[in-house]
Structure 1
C-alpha cells in the first residue's frame, strides 16, 4: 500500500537534484523512472494523488526562493499550483495503464510533454520555470534542444525513463511471464536516446562583436533593493566608467554594445532629468550604444518594465516593453476576486502593462557586423514563444536582463542562468545574461557560460561573442512538435475511452445472457 506513495515522494525529491545548485542531470531520468513505476496500473484518482505528492516533493524545495522575502504563503501556493500539473499527468497516465498494468514508455513521454506544455501556458500565461530541459545544459539530452526545443528534451528524458521503468518491471515480473528481453532491450534504447544528443552539432563559429555586461549591484538584497534613491543607477554608472578606464588604458577591447540589467535605473530614466543625464553622459564617454533596464511611469496609473536603447549623439532610440509581466508580482489578475482571500494583493499598487512588440534592437558598430539583439526581461527567458519570436525576428545574439535582488542568496539566479544556457543551445545564439546582483555571464552558442559572476558583487563580463545567423531545426519547427505530441495523446485517450466503453458493453451483454440462461 505504501510502495507507490513512497516511490512518488522519492521521485519528486530526486528530481530536485537535476537543477541548480545540485546540477546532477542524470537525476531527471532516474526520478521519472521512479514516477512511471509509481503510476503504472494505479487507479486514475490514485494517480492524481501520486502525481501531486511527487509534484510537491519537487516544487516546494526548488521554488523556495519565491517566498524568501514575501513569506511562505506565496511560495507554497505557487508550488501547489505547479504540483497540480504533475497530478493531472499522474491521473492521465494511470488511467491509460489501468487495465494491463504495464509500463507504456511512449504514452508516459507524451503525457509528460503535454503536462509541461499546459503548465507553460496556464493559468495566467503559465509558469514554465523548471522544465526538465532547463536542468540539462551539461547533459547529452540537453543537446537535443537544438532539434526540437525544450519540449523535445523533456519528451526524450521521459521516454528514456519509461523504457527504464519497463525494464525494471520486466525484472520484477519475470516469473509472471513478462518477456525478460525487455529488461535488456529497453535500457539499451534508453541509453541510445541520451547518446543521440552527442551527435547534435552546436557550432560556435561566426563573425564576432565585443560585449560588456555590467553587474552594478544594489545597496541591499530584498524587496527594497532600490530604497536608496538612484543608488542602483549610480552603481551601474560607476562600474561602467571603471570598465571604460581599462579600455582607455589598453587593458581591454572597446565594446560594441554595453548591457545593463533589468531595473538598472531605479527611477524613470526618461522622466527624471538627472537620471537621464547620467545615462547620456555614460554613453557619450563610452561612444558605444547602451541597453538600459528601467521602469517607466506610464501609461497612466500603470508601470512599464522596459529595455531602452541609448546611442551616442542620438539619445534614446528604441524601446522594448516586457511582454509577459509576472502575475501576482508585477500585476494582480482578477484583483477583486483574490482580495477576498488576501488583502496583500494591494501591495502591488499599480499593475505593470504588457508590451505587444517583439524585442529586437539593432546597432551598427564601426568595427563589427550589425548587432541584432533579441531581448528578454527576467522570467521571459523561460517562455519558449518569447525567445522564439526574437530569433525569428532576426536576432543574431540574445540579451537577457534580469534583477535577482528580490530573491537573495538562493538558487533562483543559478536556475535562470541555466535556462539562458539552454536557450543558447536551442537557437545557436550567443547570450549576454546580465543581472543587477548576479549571476551574470557571457554564453556561447554551445551553452558554455563564461565569466560567471558571484552574487551581490559589483562586476563586469566582457569579451567577444559570435553573431550567428544560421537557424537551428528547433527555430524552424517552433511549437509544432509540442502540438503534434498533444494531438497524438488526445487520440490515444479517445481510443482508450472508446475501447473501455466497448468492453463495458460486451461485459454487460454477456452478463445479461448468463442471467437469461440461468432463468
Structure 2
C-alpha cells in the first residue's frame, strides 16, 4: 500500500482523538491530575500517525474540539452553549491545521527525535496561533497550564509557558515514537539495558532542569492584604446598588478588627470590587476615604468601572492615605465577546440575541501598568490578562518588583475557571520570579511569594482576607529576557524546515525517472 494511503479506519482515529481530547479535562484544575496531559497529547498524536493529510486535519479538528470544550465548559455557564461551541470550533481549526502539517512533514523525518521535535514544534506554533488569532486569540488551555503542581513547572522560569508546553509535547511524542521501535527490537531479541539509556536520560533531564531555578534575594518586603468580598459581581448580577462595595468593605474591616496591630503596606481588592465609582459617587468616595485615611492607614488598590467621554474602561485605582487617587490602570486587553464585541455589526447579524447581551464595549487601556508603593514598582493586571504573555513582558520591562492580579470570577459560578486561573497565576510567579497577589471577588484567592511559593490562600465563595509579607525583587528571569523570542524562533525554524521540504519535493519531481 502507498505511504500516502491510510489503512486505519477513520472511525478508530476519530474515537481515539475525541477520547484523548476529553481526557485533558482531568489534567487541568480543578481535577489537576497533571500526568494525564501526557496521555491526552500522546493519544492525539497516535490518532494521526500514518494518516493522510486530509484525515489528519479532520481527526485533529475533532480531537481539538473535545480538547477545548472539555476544559472550558465554564464558558457556557451564563451565555449558553453557543459561545463554547464557537470558540471550540475556532481552536479546533488550529489543532486540525497543526496535525495536518505534522502528517505532511512527518514523511520527511528519519529519526525518532526528528519526528518528535517536529510534533512538539508544531504544537508550540499552534498554541501561539491560538493565543493570538483572531481578535488577540484565546490564551487558555495551553499545555503549560496543566503543570502548576508538576515537577516540570520550573521550565517556565527558563522560557515561559511556550517552553514548558514544548517540553510536555516533546516528552509525549518521544514516548509514542520510541515504544513501537522498542517493542519491535524486543520481539527480535535486540534489546538490552542500553535501550533504556536514552529515555531515562531524557526523563532525568526533563525533571532535574526545572529544579535548578534560584529564588532571587528580596531587596525589600511588603506587608500585603488581599480581600475577597464574596460579591456577586457578574455581568448579569442583580445586586443592590453599592452591595459589592459594601462586601469588600466588610471583609476589610474584619481584617482590621482581627489584626489591629498589623501595619499593612498595601490592601488589594479585586477587579470590579466597587460597583460605585468614587469618581462620581460621593458616598463611595467617603467610604473609601474613611477606610484608607482613618481606619487602615494604608494604600488601597481596587477595581471599578470608569469612563472618559464615550469610552468605558475596566479600571483599577491606587488610593493613598492623605492624598486620594494617585494612579489608575485601564485594562489593556479586554476579552472579545465578553467585554467588547469586535466587528459588532457583522456578528450581530449572525447571533443578535447573544450579541445583544454584551450591550457595552470596553475600550483598550493605554496607561502604564505600574503602581508605586513605598518607593517600589508593582505591576498591575486585570483578570484574563494573567494568561497573556505580552502583559508580563511589559511589566518586566517597566521594572515591576511584584504583581497585583485583580480578578472577578463571579461570572463562572462554581466551575473550574477560577481554579485554572489560580494555577496560571502560580506559574506566572515562577516564570517572572516575582511575588504575585491574586485577589478574586469570589475566590479562590492566593498570595504567592517569589518562585510560586504559596503564602496564603482562600477557598471559593466565602468572605475572606489573606495577609502575607512578600519579597520584592527586580531580578529578571531568563523567561523575561529571552522567552519572548522563543515562539518567533520556533516559527522561523518551522518556516525554513517546510521551505526545505518543499524544495526537496520540487527537485524530486524534476529528477528524470530511469
CA distance in 2, matches of 1:123, 1:177: 51
What secondary structure, in the 3-state scheme, does the structure 2 residue paired with 1:303 have? strand
Q: CA deviation at 1:195?
A: 1.4
What secondary structure, in the 3-state scheme, does the structure 2 residue paired with 1:291 have? strand
- Name the structure 2 match of 1:384: 389
CA distance in 2, matches of 1:240, 1:100: 61
Task: State which of 109, 115, 120 in structure 2 corresponds to 1:109.
Answer: 120
What secondary structure, in the 3-state scheme, does the structure 1 residue paired with 2:457 have? coil
Q: Deviations over 1:64-103 (max 9, x none)?
A: 1111011111111112212222111111111111466975
Q: CA deviation at 1:193?
A: 3.9
- Name the structure 2 match of 1:213: 226
CA distance in 2, matches of 1:183, 1:93: 27
Q: Structure 1 stretch 24-33 or stretch 430-439: which is displaced more?
A: 24-33
Question: Is there any run of 5+ residues in structure 2 with no aligned partner, and where?
Answer: 1-8
Q: Deviations over 1:11-56 (max 9, x none)?
A: 2123222210111221222222222222233211211112112212
Task: State which of 93, 99, 113 in structure 2 corresponds to 1:90.
Answer: 99
Q: CA deviation at 1:268?
A: 2.3
Task: State which of 257, 269, 284 in structure 2 corresponds to 1:245.
Answer: 257
1:311-330 equivalence runs, <5 A: 311-330=320-339
Task: State which of 357, 360, 371 in structure 2 corresponds to 1:361.
Answer: 371
TM-score normalised by structure 2 residue count: 0.92
2:402 is equivalent to residue 397 of structure 1: yes
- Name the structure 2 match of 1:274: 283
CA distance in 2, matches of 1:92, 1:177: 33
- Name the structure 1 match of 2:4: none
CA distance in 1, matches of 2:373, 2:132: 33
- Name the structure 2 match of 1:472: 477
Q: CA deviation at 1:9?
A: 2.2
- Name the structure 2 match of 1:367: none
RMSD: 2.2
Q: Deviations over 1:148-188 (max 9, x none)?
A: 11111011111111211111231454499998689635532
What secondary structure, in the 3-state scheme, does the structure 1 residue paired with 2:350 have? coil
Task: Note if contact 1:358-1:389 (Cα within 8 Å) is conserved in structure 2.
Answer: no
2:209 is equivalent to residue 197 of structure 1: yes
Structure 1 pair 487–16 and aligned structure 2 pair: CA distance change class (3 A): same
Q: CA deviation at 1:196?
A: 3.1
2:313 is equivalent to residue 304 of structure 1: yes
Structure 1 pair 240–414 and aligned structure 2 pair: CA distance change class (3 A): same
2:117 is equivalent to residue 133 of structure 1: no
- Name the structure 2 match of 1:410: 415
CA distance in 1, matches of 2:206, 2:507: 39
2:180 is equivalent to residue 169 of structure 1: yes
Give the count of matched residue pairs.
499
Task: State which of 443, 457, 461 in structure 1 corresponds to 2:462.
Answer: 457
Question: Is there any run of 5+ residues in structure 1 with no aligned partner, and where?
Answer: 365-369, 514-519
